[in-house]
């Protein structure tokens, strides 16, 4: 799965998401004459990443200078300026993570291959990579096509509306933020699959320990009861936990800024929809444009939060399964096994697998409710301003 992700990530260099570190470039396997070309292309990509930072700043300042102020809509102009600033700030963080978090991102991808091989070789688990690649590709195509179609429909309905914001200046920002969330969503989807594979093997161990007399013919129970097998499960879990830590490390700030910017986006868009109902704009056309803007954004955020929530549930399910392993015999041969179960249980109690926005919030279904409450509160305040 690692190689497929790297193939897809090649196209994200333009947006500044990922460039493989130089020491991982396969230069030594190339012909001597080709090595300078590879190094040159790599340096060009790094230069491009560094050039993204001032380019984003120039685009932001240019929009502030050339966007004319519309009299009589001071509150609307202020809200859209704050929202546009949050988009620019999010893109700066995404580009900065692409530059200064390359090593963590590369380690994250490398460990995916390590987890896959550990499941295959140490636990004899069929990871079913072909099925996973097809499912992930379908998910990726679905989200990309949904984003593209809804974006085109939004622009078609939006082009003739009176607008005081910075939409035409922020198209690059909006596309980068959407694709960044889709990238992280794909990562979480792959990690969820690996967690399910680990749960399946742990379930077999628990079933054997709870009902040793009910054995199936196609399962090697002699291997299931061994200390090495449980140790392999523990080490693979540690790899998965490290993967989520790396994900939070190289993408935590961009997740925090994008979710915050989307909250402002929801608020601003609903505010403009409210103005359209008051007769400030053409009501029907603006509500249609609003709908096409909300659909892909809501689908991506909801899907990401759902996947993160499922990973947290699988983590707690692993802890629940491990607590069911009861060793009644007190022989010395089982002392090491019993000690390992205790250590693994303690580890699960102290460690929690979760995706966070730099610990400001945790991505799960509860976050969606919190966002809804915050937007509702914001709309109540805005309505009070409109009634004055």
- What pLDDT does residue 215 have? 56
Dump pLDDT digits (tens) for 183-195. 999 999 999 999 9
pLDDT digits 0-9 by tens, 112-151: 999 999 999 999 888 999 999 999 999 999 999 999 999 9
Contacts of 209 (CB under 8 A, 6+ apart): 225, 324, 325, 326, 327
Query: Who contacts 279 (Cβ-Cβ below 8 Å, separation ≥6)?
Result: none
- At residue 31, the pLDDT reads 44
Helix spans in 68-170 (H): 74-100, 102-121, 129-158
Burial of 310 from C-beta contacts in 10 A (0-12 / 13-18 / 19+): middle
Q: Model confidence at 111, in pLDDT bands (50, 70, 90)?
A: very high
Evaluate whether 223 touches 55 at the Cβ level (below 8 Å): no
The alpha carbon of 265 is separated from its chain's Cα centroid by a whole number of angstroms, namely 19
């Amino acid at each position: 799965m690692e190689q497929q992700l790297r193939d897809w990530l090649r196209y994200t260099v333009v947006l500044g998401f990922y460039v493989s570190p130089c020491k991982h470039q396969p230069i030594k396997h190339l012909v001597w004459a080709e090595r300078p070309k590879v190094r040159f292309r790599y340096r060009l990509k790094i230069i491009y990443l560094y050039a993204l930072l001032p380019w984003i700043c120039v685009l932001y300042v240019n929009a502030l200078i050339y966007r004319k102020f519309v009299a009589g809509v001071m509150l609307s102009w202020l809200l859209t300026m704050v929202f546009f600033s949050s988009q620019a700030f999010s893109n700066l963080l995404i580009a900065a993570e692409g530059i200064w978090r390359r090593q963590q991102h590369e380690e994250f991808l490398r460990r995916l291959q390590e987890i896959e091989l550990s499941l295959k070789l140490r636990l004899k688990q069929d990871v079913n990579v072909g099925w996973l690649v097809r499912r992930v590709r379908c998910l990726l195509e679905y989200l990309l096509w949904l984003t593209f179609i809804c974006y085109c429909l939004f622009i078609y309905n939006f082009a003739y509306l009176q607008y005081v914001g910075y939409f035409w200046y922020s198209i690059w920002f909006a596309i980068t933020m959407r694709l960044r969330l889709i990238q992280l969503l794909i990562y979480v989807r792959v990690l969820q699959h690996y967690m399910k594979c680990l749960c399946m093997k742990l379930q077999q161990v628990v079933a054997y320990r709870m009902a040793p007399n009910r054995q199936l013919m196609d399962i090697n129970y002699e291997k299931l009861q061994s200390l090495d097998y449980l140790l392999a499960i523990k080490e693979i879990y540690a790899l998965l936990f490290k993967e989520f830590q790396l994900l939070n490390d190289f993408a935590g700030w961009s997740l925090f800024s994008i979710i915050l910017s989307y909250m402002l986006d929801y608020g601003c868009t609903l505010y403009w929809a409210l103005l359209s109902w008051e007769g400030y704009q053409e009501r029907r056309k603006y509500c249609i444009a609003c709908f096409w803007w909300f659909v892909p954004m809501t689908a991506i955020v909801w899907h990401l939060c759902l996947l993160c929530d499922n990973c947290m549930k699988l983590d707690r399910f692993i802890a629940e399964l491990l607590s069911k392993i009861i060793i009644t015999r007190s022989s010395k041969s089982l002392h090491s096994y019993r000690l390992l179960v205790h250590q693994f249980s303690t580890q699960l109690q102290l460690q929690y697998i979760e995706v966070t926005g730099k610990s400001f919030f945790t991505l799960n279904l509860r976050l969606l409710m919190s966002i809804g409450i915050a937007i509702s509160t914001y709309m109540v305040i805005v309505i009070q301003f409109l009634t004055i």
